[in-house]
C-alpha cells in the first residue's frame, strides 16, 4: 500500500486505499515544508506504510534533499521509501496522465507544469511575496487591499468595500496584520472577490481579469518551456479552489487561446493525490528537480 499526501497552503489531504484524511492544517506562510508536514502528521491517526508519496507546496519547482522527508515518514509511518514531489508535477500527472499539455493548479498559490514527449517545464510556484500571480492569495489580498483603501477614502470602490465587509472586520480583528493569519485571510477571501465580480462589482471584475491574464501567461510560458509551439494542440487542465468559479476559468481560457488557438481544454482526470500515487508506482527513480526519492532502512 502507498500512503499519498497532498500538502497545500489551505490544508492537507492524506489517502491510503480506503482511508482518507482531510486536515485544515496546511503550509503556513514562511513555514518550511518539512515543518508543515510534521505539524500535520503529529495530529494524524497512526498509519503504517512502507511507501509514502508526498506532493508538497513550497518547493518552487526544485525539490530539496529528500533525506529529511524520508526520515520524517519513517518516524511517523515506518516508511522505507519516500517520493518527494513538487505539487505541480503531481497535479500534472494526476490531471493529464502523461498526455502532452499543461496543468494549471490554482490554490492559495499558483503552479503550472507542462509536459511534451517526456520534457517537463515548471512555471510560477514562486510563493506569495514574489509570485503566485492570479492565485487565491493574490485575489484575496487585492480585494481586501482595495476595500481598505476605499474605507480610507483613497479610492471610490465603495461597492467592493460593501462586498468585503466581513473580511474587513476580520482584518481589524487581527493582532498581527502581516502574519500567517493575515495570509490565511487573504486566501479565504478569494471566493469573496470572485463572487463580487460575478455580481458585477467593477473593481472586482478588473482584478479578476488581471488575474486571468496573468494565469494565461503562466500556462503559455509553461507549454513553450516544455518544447511546445503556438500552433500545436496541447491539452490544458485548470484545477484547484478558485477554478470552481466558471467565469474565472472562462476568462483564463479566453486569454490562452489568443496565443494557443488550438488548445484543447479538458477536465482533470485526477488530482494531486492521484498523481502522487501514480508517480510512486511508475516513476521509481529520481526525475530532478521535480521528483526525488528518499530511503530509510
Each residue's pLDDT tens digit in the chain (297 positions)? 899 999 988 799 999 998 999 999 999 878 999 999 999 999 988 899 999 999 998 898 899 999 999 999 999 999 999 999 998 899 899 999 879 999 998 988 999 999 999 888 999 988 888 999 999 999 999 999 999 999 999 999 999 999 999 999 999 999 999 988 999 999 999 999 999 999 999 999 999 999 999 999 999 999 999 999 999 999 999 998 999 999 999 999 999 999 999 999 999 999 899 999 999 999 999 988 999 999 987
Give tens-digit pLDDT for 7-51.
988 799 999 998 999 999 999 878 999 999 999 999 988 899 999
HEC string for the chain: CEEEEEECCCCEEEEECCEEEEECCCCCCCCCHHHHHHHHHCCCCCCCCCEEEEEECCCCCCCCCCHHHHHHHHHHHCCCEEEEEEHHHHHHHHHHCCCCEEEEEECCCEEEEEEECCEEEEEECCCCCCCCCCCHHHHHHHHHHHHHHHHCCCCCCHHHHHHCHHHHHHHHHCCCCCCHHHHHHHHHCHHHHHHHHHCCCHHHHHHHHHHHHHHHHHHHHHHHHCCCCCCCCCEEEEECHHHHCHHHHHHHHHHHCCCCCCCEECCCCCCHHHHHHHHHHHCCCCECCCEEEEECC
pLDDT, tens only, 118-141: 888 999 988 888 999 999 999 999
Structural domains of the chain in order of their starting residue, each with its CATH number: 2-90+271-295 (3.30.420), 98-268 (3.30.420.40)
The predicted model scores a pTM of 0.82
Amino acid at each position: 500500500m502507498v500512503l499519498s499526501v497532498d500538502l497545500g497552503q489551505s490544508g492537507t489531504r492524506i489517502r491510503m486505499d480506503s482511508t482518507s484524511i482531510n486536515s485544515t492544517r496546511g503550509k503556513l506562510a514562511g513555514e518550511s515544508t518539512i515543518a508543515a508536514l510534521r505539524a500535520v502528521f503529529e495530529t494524524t491517526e497512526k498509519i503504517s506504510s512502507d511507501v509514502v508519496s508526498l506532493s508538497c507546496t513550497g518547493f518552487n519547482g526544485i525539490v530539496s534533499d529528500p533525506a529529511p522527508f524520508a526520515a520524517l515518514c519513517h518516524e511517523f509511518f515506518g516508511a522505507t521509501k519516500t517520493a518527494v514531489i513538487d505539487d505541480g508535477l503531481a497535479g500534472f500527472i494526476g490531471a493529464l496522465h502523461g498526455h502532452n499539455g499543461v496543468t494549471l493548479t490554482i490554490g492559495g498559490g499558483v503552479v503550472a507544469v507542462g509536459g511534451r514527449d517526456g520534457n517537463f517545464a515548471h512555471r510560477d510556484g514562486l510563493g506569495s511575496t514574489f509570485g503566485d500571480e492570479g492565485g487565491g492569495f493574490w485575489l484575496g489580498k487585492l480585494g481586501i487591499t482595495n476595500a481598505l483603501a476605499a474605507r480610507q477614502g483613497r479610492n471610490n470602490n465603495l461597492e467592493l468595500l460593501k462586498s468585503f465587509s466581513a473580511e474587513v472586520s476580520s482584518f481589524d480583528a487581527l493582532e498581527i496584520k502581516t502574519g500567517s493569519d493575515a495570509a490565511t485571510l487573504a486566501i479565504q477571501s478569494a471566493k469573496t472577490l470572485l463572487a463580487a465580480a460575478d455580481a458585477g462589482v467593477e473593481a472586482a471584475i478588473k482584478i479578476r481579469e488581471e488575474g486571468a491574464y496573468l494565469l494565461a501567461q503562466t500556462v503559455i510560458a509553461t507549454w513553450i518551456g516544455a518544447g511546445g509551439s503556438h500552433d500545436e494542440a496541447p491539452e490544458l487542465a485548470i484545477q484547484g479552489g478558485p477554478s470552481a468559479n466558471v467565469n474565472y476559468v472562462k476568462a483564463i481560457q479566453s486569454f490562452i487561446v489568443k496565443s494557443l488557438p488550438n488548445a484543447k481544454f479538458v477536465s482533470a482526470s485526477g488530482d494531486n493525490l492521484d498523481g502522487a500515487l501514480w508517480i510512486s508506482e511508475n516513476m521509481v527513480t529520481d526525475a530532478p528537480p521535480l521528483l526525488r526519492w528518499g530511503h530509510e532502512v
